[in-house]
Amino acid sequence: MRIGDLAARTGLTTKTIRFYENSGLLHPPPRTRGGYRDYPEQAATRLAFIRDAQHAGLTLADRAAHIDPAACGADDICTILTPERPRVTRAG
């Protein structure tokens, strides 16, 4: 999928997608013979997580820390790492 299609699908701008790619949040996709980026379907899922994490107040560094970059190859579904949650104990 070309970057314009990915942008339309995710509601992000092409500039934002390139920024996430340059920041390491999104793997650089393979290129077509013509030199166009050819994003896999999983890129939309990853970008949706990044966007939702931003809306939840996570910084760019926080978002990067919660995504396993090794688990998002062209043929893989992204693995989102879950931070350890504090235990809640019942009082009384």
Return the pLDDT at 49: 84
Return the pLDDT at 66: 65
What are the tokens at 85? 């949650």
Instruction: Say if residues 71 and 81 touch (Cβ distance below 8 Å).
Output: no
Query: Helix, strand or coil for residue 14?
Result: helix
Return the pLDDT at 34: 95
At 24, the pLDDT band (50, 70, 90 cuts) reads confident
Counts of helices then strands in the chain (DSSP H, E): 4, 0
pTM of the model: 0.68
Model pLDDT for residues 43-82, shown as the tens digit of each residue: 999 898 888 888 888 787 777 766 654 544 443 444 444 4
Return the pLDDT at 68: 56
